[in-house]
Amino acid sequence: MSIIFLLIFFLFLQSSSSSLPPEPEPQPPNAPTVCIVGAGIGGSSVSHFLRTYSPNPIPNFNIRIFERNRFVGGRMATVNVTGHTFEAGASILHPKNFHALSYTKLLNLTVNDPSSSSSSIGIWDGKKFVFKTLSFNCKLPFVQKLVSLFNSVRIFFRYGFSILRMESFVENTVGRFLKYYESLESRPIFETVDSMLQWAGLYNLTTSTLESELADAGLSSLLIQELVTVITRINYGQSVSMSGLAGAVSLAGSGGGLWSIKGGNWQMAAGLINRSDVALNLHEEIESISFLGEHYELNSTLGHSYICEVAVVATPLDELNIQFIPPVSIPKRKLQHTHTTFVRGLLNPVYFGLNVASKIPELVGTIENPDIPFSSISVLKQHSETDKTYKVFSRQPMDDALLDRIFSVRSETIRINWGAYPHYSAPEVFAPFILDGRQLYYVNAFENAASTMETSAVAAENIARLILSRFFGQVPLSQAKSTYGSDGEGLHADL
Domain count along the chain: 2
Q: Is residue 452 part of a domain?
A: yes
Q: Is residue 170 part of a domain?
A: yes
Residue 296 has pLDDT above 50, yes or no: yes
pLDDT confidence of 145, banded at 50, 70, 90?
A: confident
Between residues 363 and 479, the one the model is more confident about: 363
Say whether both 476 and 363 belong to one domain. Answer: no
CATH of the domain at 339: 3.90.660
Under the phi-then-psi rule, with left for phi > 0, alpha for psi from -120 to 50, and beta for the rest, what region is 490? alpha
On whether the pTM is more than 0.85, the answer is yes
- What pLDDT does residue 475 have? 61
Distance (Å, whole) CA 467 – CA 33: 12
CATH of the domain at 50: 3.50.50.60
Residue 19 has pLDDT above 70, yes or no: no
Residue 96 has pLDDT above 80, yes or no: yes
Residue 432 has pLDDT above 70, yes or no: yes
Helix crossing, 453-470 with 98-106: angle to 10°?
Answer: 80
Say whether both 102 and 171 belong to one domain. Answer: yes
**Residues 181-216 pLDDT 10s:** 999 999 999 999 999 999 999 999 999 999 999 999
Closest C-alpha to 304, from 291, 286, 279, 283: 286
Between residues 143 and 285, the one the model is more confident about: 285
pLDDT confidence of 1, banded at 50, 70, 90?
A: very low
Across 6-24, average pLDDT: 36
- Residue 46 structural domain: 32-76+95-111+161-219+262-332+425-495
**Residues 244-292 pLDDT 10s:** 999 999 999 887 789 999 999 999 999 999 999 999 999 999 999 999 9
Say whether both 283 and 410 belong to one domain. Answer: no
Name the average pLDDT for the chain. Answer: 89
Across 22-32, average pLDDT: 57
- What pLDDT does residue 424 have? 97
Point out the domain boundary residue: 422, 446, 472: 422
Across 125-136, average pLDDT: 91
Say whether both 327 and 366 belong to one domain. Answer: no
